[in-house]
Chain A
Amino acid sequence: MAGKMIEQERYTCAIGALQSVVAIPKALPILHSGPGCGMMVRGFFERSTGYAGGSTSPCTNFSESEVVFGGIDKLRKIITNSYKILNSDLQVILTGCTAGIVGDDIDSLANEFREIGRPIVTVETAGFKNNNFVAHGDVVNAIIDQYTNKFIDENPVRSEKRTVNLFASIPYQDQFWKGNLRTYKHLLEQLGFKVHILFGPESAGVTEWQQIPRANFNVLVSPWYGQSIVEHLKNIYGQPFFKFPHIPIGANETEKFLYTLLSFAEENDTPLDYKKAKLFIKHESAAYYEELDNLATFLLEFRYGLPNYVHIIHDAGYVVGLAKFLLHETGIVPKEQFIVDNTPEKFQQDIRTDLKGISTKKNVPLLFEPDAGKVQNIIRDITYDGRGLLIGSGWDKELSKEKHFDFLSASVPSPYRLVLCTGYAGFHGGLRVMEDIFNTVLASYR
């Protein structure tokens, strides 16, 4: 796929999947790349060094001599010494453009370490090969093939009927990943599942990765990124997957997510207490609607103007998830929507169809365009009556000012917002989105 130029990028190149390693407790990324790659990734995601990522990742710091003679010897030394200096449960070597073009055979090198029992994985992440949405899948699949598979004897395939592996928010690329993953895990556990969440503080680290084969099936919450993982697991372990194609935000979509997941579980002989599970959903939903009622009071009694339409510039999962939520649960009408995640063509039709399902009466115009500079120019030329809301990344602050939009920063890069463990998924996530939007509005209240 030939890429076009991009201004104001909202994702990065394949080596950005470094963050998927950073998100695994006690995993150590090793970069076989130029000296700036780790720092670039760190700068893009901000506060993203974690245990030993960003510029603190061991790195071969390619110089001219490695470009000419290859960098394998230098990499061997760095791996050897990283064991002396850094504690880790798993090492993942990621390659940059330099190593990619020079053609270093890192897999043979990794074998030298595997032979002496070191858990080590290699992934090709040259920047020109892919972006980090795609490379996230490559990293996960590489760990499954080169690490998880070694433990298959102790972890028989589909041996735990109530266990699922969950793949959803991409660590750091989704700035709400920690909160979202925690929410999914919590919700599914309340339904009776055991969940391998794999990333972040809720993960049990490498032992959880070793036990991936045990799961009865996989759950994918994503329109397209991560699909390569669940397809791969289906191929090698015969685990079917349940796919929910956007982020479930608020009650409508969260209920739909959980109920359809329960049906899927039932079809796959998952021994759950289904009655109890449904009661839990009802309980959560009731608590949610109590707050929605409060919101309605606020919306109806606020006299000084509220946003009545929204443009969203985000990845496909958020554009669809937020648009559905905003129309149905806050009354803000989605106008032109922009998906900037470089969605592969084969997924675009399904995403269009999913968004179309938002309403039988309304057609929401949708554009797939990774060049956000171009997207901004399009928005510049659109005008509607009323007060507009723009949900996007830090890049859009200036445009919002220009267009007198209320602005919610909800995508990377995120220089104007500190997100620690806030999540937007689920019942509570929906309430949080409301708070964030209307706090912005209230901040303009004199």
Chain B
Amino acid sequence: MQKKINLDISEVQPREQRLGTIIAWDGDIKELHRQSNFSGRAAGCGSGDGCRLCELQGPFSQGSVCSEQMVECQAGNVRDAVLIQHSPIGCGAGQVPYNSIYRNGLSMRGHKVENIRIINTNLTEEDMVFGASDKLRSAIDAAWLRYKPKAIFIATSCATGIIGEDIESIAREKQEELGVPVIPMACEGFRSKHWSTGFDATQHGILRQIVRKNPHKQEDLVNVINLWGSDVFTPMLANLNLKVNYVIDLASVDDLARMSEAAATVGFCYTLSSYLATALEQHFGVPEVKAPMPYGFSGTDAWLRELARVTHREELAEKYIASEHSRVRPRIKKLKEKLRGVKGYVATGSAYSHGLIQVLRELNVEVNGSLVFHHDPVYDSGDDREDSLGHLLKNYGNVENFHVSNRQQYQLYAFSQKVHPDFMLIRHNGLAPLASRLGIPAAPLGDEHIAIGYQGIINLGETILDILARKKFHNSIKTHVKLPYTDWWLKQKDAYILAR
């Protein structure tokens, strides 16, 4: 069994320390799964080579993303809270995309559309020398005055991390004064090699300071850990007489507080939900649904059955599964005919890619390559029913070209030359423009729920047909735009040549 998540410490433990996360690796799924050793690692590995997962380290890197940005897009997207960025103003640049995500998410879920509420303390050189605790205090006061929020989150930055600002004690002082949770989150960009630690930092803060300690249990309430995607879970879970509590994005502070009242917690991506779901089970007794993620027939079947088992709704689930199968099968059959022989490539976050590949293979789309931004060899629960890579391997077979590459665009070029996909599924910005310059249509997958469940198989199939129609447009870009890469690099077959 994994170690219990420690909520007594104020700063979250980075992912690489908890899970052994890596950000560069080259091989196939079979080998990565073997090296990851999910169950062995969960059991503690012992000594020797039992837990060795070799990470490639090269002498070149392009930019990535940082944990603070994940905090912006989680804590910053809580409806009646304010996020304070204790940082120079540059860290506030992220507010722009996260405001756009927030507003469109609010609209998709039927909430009132409003601007994101993030205040930046605008640290300057003087503050680096003398500290900026009074600036933080006055920003908290301004947040209170302007919005009367139900909670105030504070994000740290590289700058405050290095000068050693004591944010925790100010948060404590202000929490007492204002009577609402004031939550510091350690998310310095340099603190973790992978930005998904930012998810954990937000979740850690919420678990410590918002989640209700003595809950009245609601046997029909299910926490759904997601981002800002459209509302596919409410109608789905209604078939099991279950109500959805979406967290963290677009939730209210009260939605976050009542997570402890739920009968179960589910996610759509273990990269995102691992920490929060496990801690809710360990510290608040809310069972985490430990199952493959809800993608493709086998994943969705298993996910629904496990949710039904935990919430005692087995009969309803079987009825729903049967009716959905018969509803979607004919359409999927048609899509499969249309997509026969089409080759796809998936470039997304780690667990999410496992799910998308499953759906693509359900649709007859050939997938012989994928890149993920990082890889977690195990998740926080340590329960091997969550081994998403293993589930993919066992039910849908190997993926021969599987790369861990932390949004390194220069490597994507070499990957794509190896597998020559007809289209790419890309989540997160930065990679799609390259695909386009190579003449490969890409879908940005702004709504992360598009591929979930049975309907998701149809949605994704139709999206692919849609983007394949844009091939000509991408070809004209390919013809006229010059890549910045050298001829030497463009000829490389091995994207990791510099790391060998």
CA distance A102 to B138 in the complex (A): 28
Residues of A within 8 A of B128 (CB): 101, 128
B476 located at the interface, meaning its Cβ lies under 8 Å from any Cβ of chain A in the complex: no
Q: Are A5 and B162 in contact (CB under 8 A)?
A: no
Known: A5-B139, A6-B119, A35-B195. A128 touches B63 (CB 8 A): no
Q: Does A88 count as interface, using CB distance less than 8 angstroms? A: yes
Contact with A along B411-431 (1 / 0, CB 8 A): 000000000000000000110
B468 CB within 8 Å of chain A: no
Report which residue of A40, A102, A377 has the largest number of chain B beta carbons within 10 angstroms of its beta carbon. Answer: A40
B189 touches A36 (CB 8 A): yes
Q: Is the CB of B486 within 8 A of A413?
A: no
B68 within 8 A of A: yes
Which B residues from 126 to 152 make CB contacts under 8 A with A? Answer: 126-128, 135, 138-139, 142, 146
Tell me whether B95 is interfacial, beta carbon within 8 Å.
Answer: yes
A4 to B120, CA, bound (A): 9
Whether B97 lies near A43 (C-beta < 8 A) is: yes
Judged by a CB distance under 8 angstroms, whether A247 is at the interface is no
CB of A439 closer than 8 Å to a CB of B? no
Question: In the complex, A36→B66 CA distance in Å?
Answer: 4
Q: For the complex, what is the distance from the CA of A3 to the CA of B135, rounded to whole Å? A: 9
Q: Which of A12, A41, A101 contacts B163 (CB 8 A)?
A: A101
Q: Which of B68-88 contact A (CB under 8 A)?
A: 68-69, 87-88
Residues A5 and B61 in contact, CB atoms below 8 Å apart: no
B457 within 8 A of A: no
Contact A61/B61 with A6-B89, A129-B125 known, Cβ cut-off 8 Å: yes
Nearest-CB distance from B433 to chain A (Å)?
A: 6
The A interface, classified by DSSP as helix, strand, loop or mixed, is mixed
Residues of B within 8 A of A15 (CB): 90
Within the complex, the shortest CB–CB distance from B401 to chain A, in Å, comes to 20
Q: Is the CB of A58 within 8 A of B61?
A: yes
Check B59–A81 contact: CB distance below 8 A. Answer: yes
Shortest Cβ gap from A18 to chain B (Å): 10
For A131, the chain B residues whose CB sits under 8 A away are 89
CB pair B93 A1 closer than 8 Å = no
Cα of A40 to Cα of B67 in the assembled complex, Å = 12
Q: Which of A13, A44, A77 contacts B88 (CB 8 A)?
A: A13
Closest A residue to B16 using CB positions: A63
The answer to whether B115 has its CB under 8 Å from any CB of chain A is yes
How far is it, in angstroms, between the C-alpha of A41 and the C-alpha of B62 when the chains are bound? 14
- A86 and B486 within 8 A (CB): yes
Residues of B within 8 A of A97 (CB): 88, 90, 157-159, 162
Q: Is the CB of A78 within 8 A of B88?
A: no
Q: Smallest CB–CB gap between B87 and chain A, Å?
A: 7
Task: Tally the A-B contacts, defined by beta carbons under 8 Å.
Answer: 233
Within 8 A of B (CB), among A353-397: 370, 373, 377, 394-395
**A34–B120 CB distance below 8 A:** no
Interface members, chain A 1-46 (any B CB < 8 Å): 1-9, 11-16, 28, 31, 34-44, 46
Interface residues of B in 93-141 (CB under 8 A from A): 93-97, 99-100, 113-115, 117-128, 135, 138-139
Interface size in chain A (residues, C-beta < 8 A): 73
- The answer to whether the Cβ of A415 comes within 8 Å of any Cβ in the partner chain is yes
Q: Determine the distance from Cα of A64 to Cα of B186 in the docked complex, in whole angstroms.
A: 13
Instruction: Give Cα A313–Cα B427 distance, bound, in whole angstroms.
Output: 34
Name the residue of chain B whose CB is nearest to the CB of A40. Answer: B93
Interface membership of A56, Cβ < 8 A: yes
**Interface digits, A321-343 against B, CB 8 Å rule (1 contact, 0 not)?**
00000000000000000000000
Verify if A67 is at the interface (C-beta below 8 Å from B).
yes
Interface check B439, CB cutoff 8 A: no
Q: In the complex the two chains form, is A54's CB within 8 Å of B430's CB?
A: yes
Within the assembled complex, what's the spacing in Å between the Cα atoms of A237 and B36? 62
Tell yes or no: A171 within 8 A of B by CB.
no
Q: Which residues of chain A come closer than 8 Å to B142, judged between CB atoms?
A: 5, 7
Residues of A near B469 (CB, < 8 A) are none
B residues within 8 A CB of A58?
60-63
CB nearest neighbor in A for B96: A413
Closest to A28 in B: B484
Q: How far is the CB of A436 from chain B (nearest CB, A)?
A: 21
Q: How far apart are the CA atoms of A372 and B117 in the complex, in Å?
A: 12
From A1, which residue of chain B is reached at the shortest CB distance? B124
Contact yes or no, B158 A62, CB < 8 A: yes
User: Does residue A297 face the partner (Cβ distance < 8 Å to B)?
Assistant: no
Assess the B90–A127 pair: CB atoms within 8 A: yes
Closest to B190 in A: A62
Contact indicator B119/A61 (Cβ below 8 Å): no
Structural contact, B65 and A35, CB atoms closer than 8 A: yes
B65 with A128: CB separation less than 8 A = no
B409 at the interface (CB under 8 A from A): yes
Is the beta-carbon distance between A98 and B158 smaller than 8 angstroms? yes
Given A5-B120, A44-B96, A55-B63, 13 additional A-B pairs, CB 8 A: A9-B92, A34-B158, A58-B60, A64-B190, A84-B60, A87-B484, A87-B486, A101-B128, A101-B162, A129-B125, A131-B89, A394-B96, A398-B114
A residues in contact (CB < 8 Å) with B: 1-9, 11-16, 28, 31, 34-44, 46, 49, 51-52, 54-64, 66-67, 77-78, 80-82, 84-88, 96-98, 101-102, 126-129, 131, 370, 373, 377, 394-395, 398, 413, 415
| A-B contacts, 5 listed (Cβ < 8 Å) | A5-B139, A37-B189, A43-B96, A56-B484, A128-B125
By Cβ-Cβ distance, the 7 closest A-B pairs, closest first, are A36-B66, A13-B90, A38-B63, A34-B189, A127-B88, A44-B93, A81-B60
- CB within 8 Å of A: which residues of B? 58-69, 87-97, 99-100, 113-115, 117-128, 135, 138-139, 142, 146, 157-159, 161-163, 188-191, 193, 195, 407, 409-410, 429-430, 433, 484-486, 488-489, 498
